[in-house]
Amino acid sequence: SAVISQKPSRDICQRGTSLTIQCQVDSQVTMMFWYRQQPGQSLTLIATANQGSEATYESGFVIDKFPISRPNLTFSTLTVSNMSPEDSSIYLCSVEVRGLVTQYFGPGTRLTVL
Amino acid sequence: GENVEQHPSTLSVQEGDSAVIKCTYSDSASNYFPWYKQELGKRPQLIIDIRSNVGEKKDQRIAVTLNKTAKHFSLHITETQPEDSAVYFCAADNTNAGKSTFGDGTTLTVKP
């Protein structure tokens, strides 16, 4: 398995501002993903964070709104840009450990936009 | 792309009864099917998984079955306990594509 941490755990932000969420893993992983989970809803994949190249975004998500970095095999950031109340959600990173298929999730970042 | 449907959306059982949650998928290339349990305010955690070359897998009170022909798989929990109360998500994964598609979740309530 993997130990995954996210920062911040929660934040309250003003409309129009941006927030960067960090995801740190205690071991090198092959795949890192960013999900959004709105209250009472399922997990929606935002993008796959690729090490050393641009992230791969799912339909409905764009790089200008959700820029992602992955500078190495243990760390990634997701920025939620120009936020609106509709961006209020829980954002989770997940990883696939090298040699395994199973995803392990971080604890999530609860974002509230006023 | 892959589409995963999960039923029921809510399920209430009496302690000691069995619970069954069903999922269907659309992409025949999917070959890995994990189940996650998410307790209130916590992260999703894997509870059991099955690969497409296996029809059934069991781990204590939890079992998963897979019917590749019909493209459906199910989670079975026997002798349910109040601590089984949570939201359960199924997922379908094409390991060659490297990402999972999740069902909408089932809220299981086990009444003591």
| pLDDT tens for each residue of B61-72 | 999 999 999 999
- Return the percentage of chain B with pLDDT > 90, whole number: 85
CA proximity to B66, closest of B54, B79, B78, B81: B54
Q: Stretch A23-32: mean pLDDT, rounded? A: 90
Distance CA A33, CA B87 (A): 21
- CA-nearest residue to B93 within chain A is A101
* Residue partners of A40: CB distance under 8 A and separation at least 6: none
Distance CA A2, CA B96 (A): 22
Judge whether A31 is closer than 8 Å to chain B, CB to CB: yes
CA-based nearest distance A19→chain B, Å: 21
Judge whether A5 is closer than 8 Å to chain B, CB to CB: no
Question: Does position A98 have pLDDT exceeding 70, yes or no?
Answer: no
Per-residue pLDDT band at A99 (split at 50, 70, 90): low
Question: Does position B19 have pLDDT exceeding 90, yes or no?
Answer: yes
- Chain B positions touching A41 (Cβ under 8 A) are 104-105
- Return the percentage of chain B with pLDDT > 70, whole number: 100
* Residue partners of B60: CB distance under 8 A and separation at least 6: none
* Residue partners of B27: CB distance under 8 A and separation at least 6: B1, B2, B3, B92, B94
- CA-nearest residue to A93 within chain B is B43
CA-based nearest distance A92→chain B, Å: 8
More confident residue, A98 or B110: B110
Residue type, A33: F
CA proximity to B81, closest of B8, B17, B31: B17
- Chain A positions touching B99 (Cβ under 8 A) are 33, 45, 48
Q: Enumerate the β-bridge partners of residue B86.
A: B108
Query: 3-state SS string over A30-97?
Result: EEEEEEEECCCCCCEEEEEECCCCCCEECCCCCCCCCCEEEEECCEEEEEECCCCHHHCEEEEEEEEE
Question: Does position A1 have pLDDT exceeding 80, yes or no?
Answer: no
Neighbours of A17 (CB within 10 A): 11
- Chain B positions touching A33 (Cβ under 8 A) are 99
Optimal mutation site among A9, A33, A43, A102, interface B, most CBs of chain B within 10 A? A43
Give the tokens for residue B83.
């601590």
Question: Does position B74 have pLDDT exceeding 90, yes or no?
Answer: yes
Residue A43, judged by CB atoms within 10 A of its CB (0-12, 13-18, 19+), counts as: buried
